[in-house]
Structures are given as C-alpha cells and as structure tokens.
Chain A
Amino acid sequence: MRGQAAARLAPSLAKLPVMATAENAPHGSEARGCFAPLQAAADWLADLGHLVIVWFTALGDLALFTLRTLRWLFSRLPRRETLIPAFYQIGVLSLPVVALTGTFIGMVLAVQSYAQFRMMGLETRLGAVINMALVRELGPVLAATMLAGRIGSAMAAELGTMRVTEQIDALASMGTNPIHYLVVPRFLACIVLIPTLTIMADFMGVVGGAFYSITLLDVDYYHYWVHSKNFVNNFDLFIGVFKSLFFGAAIGLIACHRGFNCDPGAEGVGRAATRAFVFSFVTILLLDLFLGILLDTVNNYLWPQQARVV
C-alpha cells in the first residue's frame, strides 16, 4: 500500500516541471496547457494526502495491535510450551552476538578516545568516558539493534510465512487467538530478556574497554577504575536498562505486526523482514532520543548539584 502510494507520488513529481513549461504543451490546446500545471499540482497533493493517510492508518493499526497484545497479556499468560522456545530463541541464542558486540565496542571506544585524552594527560579518565558511554547509550542501543537484526527480522519472516501459508488463519479457525499464541510470548520474551542482554553488553563492553586500556594502552589500573566508579553511578545503569525495556517492546511489537500484515509471496515475506528491522531501528533511535531527554530531566531534578565533569 505504502509502496504503491510512493510509486504514484513519483510520476506526479516528475510530471510537475515538465507540464509547467510552455514548449511541452500540445499545439492548439492553450486552455488545457494552462490548466495542466494546476492539474499536476492537484495530483501531487492528492498523492501526498494518500501517502499521509496510509501512514496514519498503519500507525493506528500498530496501536490497535499493541492494545490487543496488552489485553491478551494481562488477561491470560501464554502456555509454557510457547514461552520457553521464545525465551530460548530471543535470550539464549542472542547472548553470544550481544556479548561480542559489547566487547568490541568497549575496545573501539578505548582506541578512539585514547589519543585525545593522552594529549591532555587525562588517559586515566578513559574508564569514566568508556563506561559512561557504554552504560547509558551504547550498551542498550547496540543490544537492541542486534536484537532487532537477529530476532526482529526472523520473527517477521516466520510470522509472515505463517500468514502467507494460512497457518495464522488455521490457528484462529481452531479457536486459538493468534495474538495470544504467537505475539504475546515473543513480546514477553523481548521485554523480559532485553534488560539482561543490555547488562551483558554493558558488562562485556566494560571488560573489553578495560582490557584494551589497561593491558594494551598501559593506562594506570587503579585510577582507571577509581574514575569509572566516581563518574558512573547506579542511576546511569538504571537509565540504560530502563530504556532497553522500551526498545524490547518496540522490537517485539513492530516485528510481529509486520509479520501479521505480510504481503503474499516470497517477496512479501522478504519485505516484512526488512521493514521489521528498519522500522525497529528507527523507533529505537527515536525512543533513545526522547527517553534520554526525559531521563536527563529527571536526573537533573533529583540531583541538581551533581557535577558531571569527566
């Protein structure tokens, strides 16, 4: 639907300047030529309007889908046999990739910051910068991005295939609510396990950063950790974990919604998987910004005197 609207928008955009030039107007049709630019502008506006309506419809549909998921979540918990595979798939199998990403990001941060800090003779403060960046931002965002890439796309493709092959209809026809059976366990696994994955990414990042700084860059061990301890507090850790809950919810809902609304055919399933990742990633970034602003305000309100100088 959105693809069609975009495709419709493109020709009218292309048409606009062409029809506006006098030499392109057909001979002997001055009146028509005079209205042509207006017509093209009207077409363009109509297409734009259609695109806006399509976007709002999709957003409304996602909101309804979220409401239905929450209603089923609070009315009846899913069965153990649906929960455990979802938890295993989303939590256990994502652990290595999240840990690896965290480790390397910690080390990369050390590599990138060391030269600048050394110039100012502040290399012992590396720990504060690396650990603060990891715990507040990079840990949760990277864990969520990995989850969106590894699990979001797979969930959208799996549910999309089930939609295309009528397996979701078959579930409903047997008196099983597809949202309760398919979406609630995945959603629950995403929001319950993403904080643990975030903590894992944080931990491995801290270890990676410390290893590279202390072992390879010869930064003083004692001061590295003292500065880290002084500048990274529990609220910073809380901010990262708190944000990850929203990221997990967004990944679960967007991926399942894309799968449920998959277009027919192999192309439709592929598109659902791609869109699940892209939409999840954009939502993660938007949520990160707005939650960051909100939590910073809370932080300043609770500890107005707290100095945040590294």
Chain B
Amino acid sequence: MSRHDHQDARSEARPESGSADRADQPLIHVENLHVQFGRQHVLRNVSLSVPRGQTLAIIGESGCGKTVLLKSIIGLIRPTSGRVFFDGQDLSTLSDKELTRQRIRFGYVFQNAALFDSLTVAQNIAFPLRQHFSYTDTEIRDIVRDRLEEVGLSDAIVAKKPAELSGGMRKRVGLARALAMNPEVLLYDEPTTGLDPIMTDVINQLIIRTRDHKHVTSIVVTHNMETIRKVPDRVVMLYPLPRLGRDEPQVLFDGSPEGIFQCRDKRVSQFVRGEARERLMEMLATSRRRSGEESAAPAAN
C-alpha cells in the first residue's frame, strides 16, 4: 500500500454526504457537555466549537476537567449528558467500529507519552501503521525515520525501549507516533509538563511547525504560560466545578491569547499571573477553622 493509499484509507472514514456544507461547519463541536464520575461532577454544560485549522489552548487549574474534555472529544470518555460532534457526526451515536474508524483521524499526545513499554521506539511509531495498513517493512522504516526527523530525533534511538529515553525524548516520540497516521486533529495533553525550559520551547516550536506544515487542527491542554503566548490562536479557560456557584459557567474565558492576559476576571488574571495569595489565605483560614474545631471538641466533651 502506497502513501496515497494511506490518505485514501483515511479519507474513507470521512462522511460522504454534504461535504461542502461540512467544510463551513466547525470540525469539533461540543454541546452542553456534562461528565460525572460516580458522585463527582467534572464538567457541567460546557459548549465549545473548534473550526478547521484552529489551534486552541485549554487552560485551568488541576482537576478542572481539561483532560476529561480532551478525552471526551476523541470519544475515550462517554459524556453523562450532552453531545460531541466531530465533522458533523455525533460520537455518541457511533458504534464501536465506527468510532474506532473516526479515531484514525486524530493524533493524541498523552501527558506521559503513554508509549507501549514492551515495544521499541520504532515499533511504537509504526504501531498504528501496522494496525491499519499493509505497508512493507521498508516503507514503515522510512515513515518512522521521517516522523523522528520531524520531531528532531535521530533514527539511532529506534531500537531503544521507552524506559531508556529521557522525558523530553519520550514526549517527542509520543508526538512522532501521533503524527504517524497524518492526522487531521492533534490533541496535546500537557505536552510541556515536567520538561526543562529549553525542551519546553522545543515542544512549543514542534507544535507550531506541525500546525504550519500539516495544517492540522490542534487542541493543547496546558498550564504553561509560554505555550499560551506562543502557540494558540484561541484560549479557553475552565474552572473547577467545586469552586463555582450553581449557575456560574465553567468556561471563564474564551478569546485570544493576548486577551487572556488583560482579562479583568480576578480568577483568570490570578491564574495567568500565577498569584496564589488568595488561595493561600483560603488554605490558612481552613486550617485555622479545623484546629479551632479540634480544640473545641475536647472542651465540649
């Protein structure tokens, strides 16, 4: 199977009818998404549209549901209520097999790379190709080398196991694996977390380069302000539900990267500036209240 066939096979996953209309509508559309695990609500009424070619950054405190949103978009998490549309198709109505076929159009870069630790770097990158296409070994070797080159790694590491790589290298191999299938959408889950500033910048540049060269739609979940300044066209900020009132929207900000640094909402500005003073006061008040309760309890007894 040649690389043209590769493109053809991928395009089979695209819905056939009304393709002209679909070009105008957003590639990803999330409608009143609600996700709950047991008694814990993570996302509430989140609505979001991502047009083709856009690079969106999702930011927010840990535990606010960024990763859950990302996994809902690719159908790894089924929403409790609400719908997720990809290229006009409601993911909840798709069968297991149809969903699997749609996922070929995505590339997902996991937070800790999620490389298969029993396979070598080359086998990891070649994995989706071997699963979905019948390339020859030589063709696969070429593709693996190309993808490694794209993420700035030499093919000297192809025989290494993921455990032998540094954190930055693992992330780049994860990106190379996500790129192997020439996806239309790239989802990055905290791609720069745990990396040094130089490697962070390398990853940021790779995201930008991939977007520019391959014209992909990208969604980047991040905490990194440098990434927000450099990478996205648009930023969405989520807020943890336990800290919100009953009717308050979970999306605190939806706008340009420049706009978020000028936002007047205190919760947004504190997050982007990394000001923890108010949160520290809260923690102090809670610990004082607790110690007060503990000292009052023996007295009451």
Binding site for B on A (CB under 8 A): 1, 68, 165-167, 169-170, 172-177
Q: From B38, B96, B103, B132, give the contact of A173 (CB < 8 A).
A: B103
A sample of 15 cross-chain residue pairs with beta-carbon separation below 8 angstroms, ordered by A number, consists of: A166-B114, A167-B116, A169-B71, A169-B76, A170-B110, A170-B114, A170-B116, A172-B103, A173-B74, A174-B108, A174-B127, A174-B181, A175-B100, A175-B101, A176-B127
Interface membership of B42, Cβ < 8 A:
no
How near does chain B come to A170, taking the closest CB pair, in angstroms? Answer: 4
Contacts of B103 in A (CB 8 A): 172-175
- Check if B112 sits within 8 Å of A174, measured CB to CB: no
Complex formed: what's the CA distance from A167 to B114 in Å?
5
Contact indicator A165/B112 (Cβ below 8 Å): yes
A172 touches which one: B38, B76, B101, B132 (CB < 8 A)?
A: B76
Task: Decide: A173 and B131 in contact? CB cutoff 8 A.
Answer: no
Contact A175 B114 (CB under 8 A): no
Asked whether any CB of chain A lies closer than 8 Å to the CB of B104, the reply is yes
CB distance from A264 to the nearest CB of B (A): 12
CB distance from B185 to the nearest CB of A (A): 11
B111 within 8 A of A: yes
**A218–B131 alpha-carbon span in the complex (Å):** 61
Q: List 5 other contacts, CB 8 Å, given A167-B116, A174-B108, A177-B96.
A: A166-B110, A169-B110, A169-B114, A175-B101, A176-B100
Residues in chain A near residue B71, CB distance under 8 A: 169
Report the minimal beta-carbon distance from B61 to chain A, rounded to whole angstroms. 19
| B253 interface residue per 8 A CB criterion | no
Number of A-B pairs whose CB atoms are under 8 Å?
54
| A residues less than 8 Å from B132 (CB atoms) | 175
> By the criterion CB–CB under 8 Å, are B116 and A173 in contact?
no
Closest approach, in angstroms, between the C-beta of A286 and any C-beta of chain B?
29
A308 to B132 alpha-carbon distance, docked (Å): 58
Kindly identify which residue among A1, A68, A165, A173 contacts B106, using a CB–CB cutoff of 8 Å: A173
A173 with B100: CB separation less than 8 A: no
Nearest A-chain residue to B13, judged by Cβ: A175
Q: Are A175 and B104 in contact (CB under 8 A)?
A: yes
- Cα separation A36 to B103 with both chains bound (whole Å): 56
**A173 with B101, Cβ < 8 A, contacts A1-B38, A165-B114, A167-B114 known:** no
Enumerate chain B interface residues (CB-CB to A < 8 A).
38, 71, 74, 76, 96-97, 100-101, 103-104, 106, 108, 110-112, 114-117, 127-128, 131-132, 177, 181
Q: Which residue of A is nearest B104, CB measured? A: A175
Complex A-B, nearest 5 residue pairs according to Cβ-Cβ distance, in ascending order: A173-B108, A170-B114, A166-B114, A175-B104, A174-B128
In the bound complex, residues from chain B placing their C-beta under 8 Å from that of A68 are: 96
Complexed CA–CA distance, A158 and B114 (Å): 14
Closest to B75 in A: A172
Contacts of B112 in A (CB 8 A): 165-166
* A173 cross-chain contacts in B, Cβ below 8 A: 74, 76, 103, 106, 108
Could you say which residues of chain A place their CB within 8 Å of the CB of B114? Answer: 165-167, 169-170
Q: Measured between alpha carbons, how far is A109 from B19 in the docked complex, in Å?
A: 74
Q: How far is the CA of A127 from the CA of B26 in the complex (A)?
A: 77
Considering residues B38, B96, B106, which has the most beta carbons from chain A within 10 angstroms of its beta carbon? B96
- Shortest distance between the CB of A12 and any CB in chain B (Å): 19
Task: Tell me the bound Cα distance from A176 to B112 in angstroms.
Answer: 20
Given A166-B110, A170-B108, A170-B116, residue A176 in contact with residue B76 (CB < 8 A): no
Residues of B within 8 A of A177 (CB): 96-97, 100
Query: B230 to nearest A CB, angstroms?
Result: 25
